[in-house]
Structure 1
Amino acid sequence: MPTDENTITATRTSLRIVEALKRLDGAGVTAVAKDLDMTKSTVHNHLKTLEDEGYVTNEGTTYRVGLRFLELGEYKRNRMDIYEKARPEVKALAEKTGETANAAVEEHGEGVYITRAEGTEAVTVDTYAGKRVKLHCTALGKTILAELPEERVDEILDTHGLPARTENTITDREELQAELATIRERGYAYDREERLSGLRCVAAPVVPEDGGLVAALSVSGPTTRMQGDLFHTDIPELLRSAANVIEINLAYS
């Protein structure tokens, strides 16, 4: 945890409590205090302040994250050029493949989904706009890592590590570096059940000419369908084409 002398402890405590409410899917004061190893009085005071300011709601004895955060997230997202340019291409990818299509960017060393669309055959998974994931275990994330400077990649891995999500997750640094080199050469990345068992994914990078925010597009689906030419040729080609369209739109809009 950062210890910068300018850090405001009370602010960090409030944010940790908000994160706990999300992780616990809503909770009372006692549950949050136990989860964070804080006193109930401290948790109550922060929750009451957050409630008064509209950032959490109180349903009887259960506090939940409020929709005020949605307003802030939408404000941020709607000011991102990559979101406006990626949204129609993501929708088109979902329609063409029948699977789930996504776009994500890197923020604070994690991948953040900024838009997604479901095709007619899409399966239900745990992704949604705003969802944060580790970069090393997703095709989207590995695509982004492959485009970042080596120093930034090292910084991200030093901070977030390489935790295993499934038995297929890459947890060795040298193995990941080799994978990133292959992705740079090939132009797209694979997730072979590395974040969720039974789910495969292909992703391609969106690299603006002006050196702006690197993003990634992906298509994901069940392993039973994501194989053969579809997985190795068809979807990668669709992704690279969509990424190229976005890059051109970013350059000349």
Structure 2
Amino acid sequence: MSTSRVKSAERVLDVLDLLARRGVPMAAIEISSALDLPKSTTHHLLNVMRDRRFVSYWPDQRAWTLGVSAFEVGASYMRSGPLHREGQRYMVELTKAADETSHLAVLQGTDVIYLDKREPLKPGVRLVTEVGTRLPAHLTAVGRSILARLDPEQLSALYAGYSWPTRTGEGPPALDALRELLRADREQGYAVERDSTTNGVTCIASPVVTRDGRPVAALGIAFLTGSRADEASAELAALVVGTTARFSASLSDRMVEQPIES
């Protein structure tokens, strides 16, 4: 590989690392100055990265942020690494405490993918959330709990030109309606979905977050709508939030980089 290509790759990674560390929209001139890059080179890199959705440009702010593809790369790492392994014991714990089905899911694009599932011993309702199932994120509690932690710019980019499918006739039909739901989800720390993925089924989910607050997954439970009184449902929500908080803390501890011995 030529030296120029290696240099270009290093610069792309530098841009991604800078935007990730800053965590706020940055103007091209700020990126150029921070990385000591020529302005023309910076603009060229950013435009190429925008075409591949690794960065997003916001004309109203004249600034750049990480794009959807960067988020998906991080989610892919978590799916194949510590997230799935660490999540198993918390799913078992949640299912045992709630006596309901628990599941672990991650966001990929506008869908959620269900990574794992634990069912109680009692006979239960048949769910569509089998391992490997993809569902529209805006219809699910696990999806909404993750989406609620995304920046407004990320959300806009994610749903640009979206067709808003439905499964049961329920669910937000547009981005403004979704934003309203996500505002409430964010304030209470969990999302509740009733009948929008399966008629007669309610799901409660809370996000799994890293130490700096980034959502990487969601942990949730599902039960028959109407099978629990409001007070019992509130207790389930508190159980989900508490279990997910411990999961997040444990995951963050395991993600601390350890030096590699030579």
Superposed pair shares fold, TM > 0.5: yes
Do the aligned partners of 1:82 and 1:250 also contact (CA within 8 Å) in 2? yes
When residues 150 and 226 of structure 1 are mapped into structure 2, their CA distance, relative to the original with a 3 A threshold, is farther
TM-score for both structures, normalised by structure 1: 0.65
| TM superposition shift of 1:203 | 0.6
When residues 130 and 224 of structure 1 are mapped into structure 2, their CA distance, relative to the original with a 3 A threshold, is same
Closer, same or farther: CA 77–114 of 1 in aligned 2, 3 Å:
farther
Correspondence list, 1:1-253, <5 A: 79-121=80-122, 122-158=124-160, 160-210=162-212, 214-231=216-233, 233-253=234-254
Determine what percentage of the aligned residue pairs are the same residue.
Answer: 26
Deviant stretches of 4+, over 6 Å: 75-78
Q: Which runs of 5+ in 2 are unaligned?
A: 1-75, 255-262
Change beyond 3 A, Cα 1:96–1:150: same
C-alpha distance in 1 between matches for 2:158 and 2:196: 18
Specify every segment of 5 or more residues in structure 1 that has no aligned partner in the other structure, as ranges.
Answer: 1-74
Distance in 2, Cα, partners of 1:226 & 1:155: 38
- Number of paired residues? 178
Q: Which residue does 1:21 correspond to in 2?
A: none
| CA deviations over 1:165-203 (Å, ceiling 9, x no partner) | 213222132221111011111100010111111111101
Verify the 8 A CA contact 1:204 1:218 in the aligned structure 2: yes
Q: Alpha carbons of 1:214 and 1:78: their partners in 2 closer, same or farther (altered >3 Å)?
A: closer
Which deviations, in whole Å up to 9, do the C-alpha atoms of 1:6-31 show, x marking residues without a partner?
Answer: xxxxxxxxxxxxxxxxxxxxxxxxxx
Q: CA RMSD in A?
A: 2.0
Q: CA deviation at 1:160?
A: 4.0
The 3 A distance-change label for structure 1 pair 213 and 183 is: closer
1:30-81 residue CA offsets vs partner (Å, 9 max, x unmatched): xxxxxxxxxxxxxxxxxxxxxxxxxxxxxxxxxxxxxxxxxxxxx9887321
The one-character-per-residue Cα deviations of 1:112-137 (angstroms, maximum 9, x if unpaired) are 11111001333211211111110110
Structure 1: distance between partners of 2:134 and 2:159? 16
